[in-house]
């Protein structure tokens, strides 16, 4: 016979060398692996990992060049841009065919549902996994990166972190900052149906990253 709940817990306490009512020991400190990579090292690693995921990375040397790359990428297609200040600083929101600065959620939703391309910045990017980190806010509405069939993220090189450990060091309590922090790792894809890989089912089937390097070391 196993015995009552108190008896079972008592035997477990005894095996652990603890007494009834004794508080549990403090948790050990977190062990984070923060590799000391330069910005250029992080950019190169991110580009490598992003490309492995069928993403399309482009490195540019300044904001004007970023706008030129976006103009060429759009090539007449329609686009919706987030309210990220960096996109305005690059001149991307002023490009022909790009809509931004929406006044209502309904207007934004309609634009995202009918646009060919969604353009955002990114709060961070992770070099280890080639991931984009999107923190939902009035500046970065989730729909812009999720609803259009193509997503383009324009990312300052300085926003690229080594990996998840560094991200959680920078934002240890993301729930206090936002209702949603999304890590985008490659184009949307699923193999749920007959184990056949299909892209673009749950989000954009094509993803680009324009990395803006301005005197980075």
pLDDT at 150: 95
Among 118, 211, 213, 134, smallest CA distance to 180 is for: 134
Q: Does 112 fall in a domain?
A: yes
Instruction: Please check whether residue 156 is in contact with residue 118, taking contact to mean a CB–CB distance below 8 angstroms.
Output: no
Q: Which CATH number belongs to the domain containing residue 97 in this structure? A: 3.40.50.10420
Q: Does 48 fall in a domain?
A: yes
Number of domains in the chain: 1
Q: Does 184 fall in a domain?
A: yes
Q: Does 14 fall in a domain?
A: no
Q: Is 149 left (phi over 0), alpha (psi -120 to 50) or beta?
A: alpha
Q: Does 12 fall in a domain?
A: no
pLDDT at 204: 86
Q: Does 69 fall in a domain?
A: yes
For 84, the token pair is 């990220």
pTM assigned to the model: 0.79
pLDDT at 173: 85
Q: Does 2 fall in a domain?
A: no
pLDDT (tens, 9 = 90+) of the chain, 217 residues, equals 456 888 888 888 888 888 888 887 888 776 666 778 899 999 999 999 999 999 999 999 999 999 999 999 999 999 999 999 999 999 999 999 999 988 888 999 999 999 999 999 999 999 999 999 999 888 888 899 999 999 999 999 999 999 998 998 888 888 887 888 889 988 765 555 665 545 545 668 899 999 999 865 5
Q: Does 127 fall in a domain?
A: yes
Q: Which domain holds residue 87?
A: 37-212
Among 39, 44, 57, smallest CA distance to 153 is for: 57
């Amino acid at each position: 016979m196993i015995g009552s709940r108190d008896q079972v817990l008592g035997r477990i306490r005894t095996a652990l060398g603890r007494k009834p009512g004794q508080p549990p020991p403090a948790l050990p400190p977190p062990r984070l692996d923060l590799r000391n990579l330069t910005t250029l090292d992080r950019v190169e690693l991110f580009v490598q990992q992003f490309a492995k995921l069928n993403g399309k990375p482009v490195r540019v040397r300044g904001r004007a060049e970023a706008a030129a790359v976006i103009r060429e990428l759009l090539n007449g297609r329609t686009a919706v841009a987030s309210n990220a200040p960096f996109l305005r600083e690059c001149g991307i929101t002023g490009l022909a065919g790009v809509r931004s600065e929406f006044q209502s959620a309904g207007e934004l939703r309609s634009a995202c549902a009918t646009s060919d391309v969604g353009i955002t910045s990114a709060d961070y990017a992770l070099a280890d996994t080639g991931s984009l980190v999107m923190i939902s806010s009035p500046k970065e509405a989730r729909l812009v990166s999720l609803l259009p069939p193509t997503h383009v993220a324009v990312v300052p090189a300085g926003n690229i972190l080594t990996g998840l450990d560094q991200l959680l060091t920078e934002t240890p309590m993301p729930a206090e900052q936002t209702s949603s922090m999304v890590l985008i790792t490659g184009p949307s894809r699923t193999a749920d149906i007959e184990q056949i890989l299909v892209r673009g089912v749950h989000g954009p089937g094509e993803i680009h990253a324009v990395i803006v390097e301005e005197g980075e070391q």
